[in-house]
Amino acid sequence: SIHGSRLLRHIQQLGKIGRDPGGQLTRLAASDNDKCGRDALIAWIKEAGLEAAVDRIGNIFGIWRAPSQEHQAPVLIGSHIDTVINAGVYDGCYGVLAGLEVIRTLREAGFTPSRPIAVAAFTNEEGVRYAPDMMGSLVYAGGLQATEALASVGTDGSVLGEELARIGYAGTEEPGFMKPHAYVELHIEQGPVLESMDIPIGAVENLQGISWQRVTIEGVANHAGTTPMPMRKDAGHAAARVITFLRDRAIHSQTPAVATVGCIRFEPDAINVIPSRATFTVDLRNPDEQSLQAEEAALDEYLTELANAEGVTITTERMARFEPVIFDAAIVGLVEAAARQRGLTSKRMTSGAGHDAQMMARICPAAIIFVPSIDGISHNPNEHTPEPDLVAGANVLLDVIADLAR
């Protein structure tokens, strides 16, 4: 079994890095705070006696291999250490640090793997600063050119490639340099299912599709006091209609569709001026590709109607689009078996969040292990998973990795 208190200590230590004076945790990809987190991870990788490597998109690897295994495909454990704004400490970090702990435990136990075992921390999984999300693993899996990804312009106007160079994490390895034998990710559920059913282990068999767009509505700025209601072309009001449309549609959907508007801006942004422009993001998800396409089509149709009805102009820009993913049945089976062996109940389930595993599934057998999230809260400082669940999840990971590398 893994060294529980060591894992928990590392999680708390990493969670202290990148807090603002008010105590909020924000380690956006390739920021100064991310550099501090990365430096800590590299130090732990070396302390564990592993080889450290960084590729061109800034993905960090800690590799355990015998000299004779140089050209063998590793079993890869991965996740990310970048965070959202005002984040919790578990999202991503738990999976990376548990991966490191599993490798240390196997080494300390004298386990002799038949192939390398490595842990990866992928760049910009959250997608908060640069789109798309899961960028590091997407590039690693060959789904996006490194050069194109490095040219991404962030919400703050920064360029990812320049930022990675600035913080010293523009590595030299070519993304994809180690083709994995298998990929396993351990992650908090970030949703309410496991906790509400009192089940400690989720064997994630699929992951829903993700559609990200930016919508821009152009109306006409005019005086808030003198412009009669019927004469307005209010971009802000039109944006509000879209938000309520998306909510009403998702809430009444027969499918498990979700829809979120997380960012919005009005221009000129003055109390007594009718907004001439509104821009906002739309995040649509569905485990079924047909259904996700139907949601996208319904939005398109609504935007066309709305533009006509309100006399505004509406344009959309694609920020990310990932189809649903089905994970490797054999690894999902290993997760279930490992849980059973340890006397833990488990449940096959769908991931609502995007994860690096969804990209890695393009190049090797992959799956995810979930542990419960209290109240389903994530992307929030109140994100929490009880310590016994964190340790149990890492032990299931240990057993699955040992099976894959035996």
Ligand X SMILES: NC(=O)NCCC(=O)O
Least distance CB 172 / a copy of itself (angstroms): 31
In contact, 370 and 146? CB cutoff 8 Å: no
Least distance CB 146 / a copy of itself (angstroms): 23
Q: What's the alpha-carbon Rg for the chain, to the nearest Å?
A: 22
C-alpha to C-alpha distances, 143 to 130, 136, 162, 177, nearest whole angstrom: 16, 10, 21, 14
Name which of residues 344 to 363 contact a copy of itself (CB under 8 A). Answer: 351-354
Give the Cβ contact number of residue 269 at 10 Å.
Answer: 11
Name which of residues 292 to 321 contact a copy of itself (CB under 8 A). Answer: 319
| Binding residue for a copy of itself, selected from 110, 157, 228, 343, defined by CB under 8 A | 228
List the one residue out of 44, 8, 85, 65 whose CA is nearest residue 393: 8
| Binding residue for ligand X, selected from 55, 91, 163, 336, defined by CB under 6 A | 91
The answer to whether the annotation marks 80 as part of a ligand binding site is: yes
List the one residue out of 150, 140, 142 whose CA is nearest residue 29: 150
228 binds ligand X (CB under 6 A): no
266 binds a copy of itself (CB under 8 A): yes
| Closer residue to ligand X in complex, CB, 106/366 | 366
What CA–CA distance (Å, rounded) separates 9 from 78?
19
| Closer residue to ligand X in complex, CB, 383/399 | 383
Name which of residues 133 to 152 contact ligand X (CB under 6 A). Answer: 133
List the one residue out of 120, 134, 112, 124 whose CA is nearest residue 77: 120
| Binding residue for a copy of itself, selected from 70, 71, 112, 223, defined by CB under 8 A | 223
Dihedral sign (CA 300, 306, 307, 308)? positive
Which range in 95-103, 122-130, 192-200, 331-339 contacts ligand X by CB under 6 A? 122-130
353 binds ligand X (CB under 6 A): yes
Total residues contacting ligand X by CB under 6 A comes to: 13
| Closer residue to a copy of itself in complex, CB, 183/212 | 212
List the one residue out of 379, 401, 302, 405 whose CA is nearest residue 91: 379
Total residues contacting a copy of itself by CB under 8 A comes to: 72
